[in-house]
Chains A and B, each alone.
Chain A
Amino acid sequence: MAVLSETDRQRIWRGIMRYWSQLFESTDFSVAELRAAVDATDNWIDGNQGSFNTALPDPFKTNATQAQKTLLFCVTAAMRVSPAFARQLIGEVD
């Protein structure tokens, strides 16, 4: 899987600012610095997807689709933001 398109990176960039604006969440960095962080995050995911796959145990590693593995990664990361945020992605998280 390649890195995200420029359009999709811009979607993340704009979207996350709107999200923080809605929460009135403090951000001590500029729009350009945030954009660089979006690029770096996507580049890191692209460069480390093989390592992530290797870390997964069988039979999940062998049998899960790429989309399922990506969702697992996203929801686990989302839980590190908050259960409420993870709930927005997949519904109830008990």
Chain B
Amino acid sequence: MASGDTLAIFTPYNNEPPSSNYATLDTRNQHPILDFDATTDEEAVFKGIMPQSYAGTTGVTVYIHYAMSTANGSVYVVWQAAFERVSDSVQDIDSDGFEAFNSTGQVAVPGTLGHVDVASIAFTDGSDMDSVVAGDGFRLKIRRDADGTSADDDATGDAELWAVEIRET
């Protein structure tokens, strides 16, 4: 399949939250959103099957559509994402097997409160995305790096995840 094609779309109701420090389901003007805290790292997990059309050469890019609940100044939010391959006899689902997180680095928040911004994180094909190939089951974990481990997230208030798209890079 061609670069730029959509491989998967996830919305807040698709979230399969971890047992602790999970992003909280909320609504904003009837839009379902997932609230990610400003000081504690919180996560959301989405399950999918990699489409057969995925070429497995150039990797994927994860696009995170989000808004901020309060911050609209010159501040930054930091998102991270990680893949877990759940393929044929590959992953014991009694435990987690996520690959290391990739990060957006600092992303400037929208200048207008309520506007949606799109942050992106690229993954190279292979181990960077836990070797997920076409037809594999996988989970995608999204985290707000609120404590600034990978880069300084200094935005006040919640970051509200609106949707996630996985696109072939």
Contacts and interface: CB of A to CB of B under 8 A. Distances in A.
Interface of A: 10, 13-14, 17-18, 20-22, 24-32, 34
Contact of B156 (A10, A22, A24, A31): A31
B42 interface: no
Contact of B73 (A13, A18, A29): A29
Q: Is the interface of A mostly helix, strand, loop or mixed?
A: helix
A20 B158 CA distance: 9
A20 B39 contact: no
A27 B39 contact: no
B69 A20 contact: yes
Contacts, number: 62
Contact of B72 (A17, A26, A32): A26
Interface in B97-129: 113-114
Interface of B: 28, 35, 37-40, 69-75, 113-114, 153-158
A26 B73 CA distance: 9
Nearest to B38: A17
Contacts of A17: 38-39, 70, 156-158
A53 B73 CA distance: 38
17 contacts: A10-B39, A13-B39, A17-B70, A21-B35, A21-B158, A22-B69, A25-B70, A26-B70, A27-B73, A28-B71, A28-B72, A29-B73, A29-B156, A30-B155, A31-B75, A31-B153, A31-B154
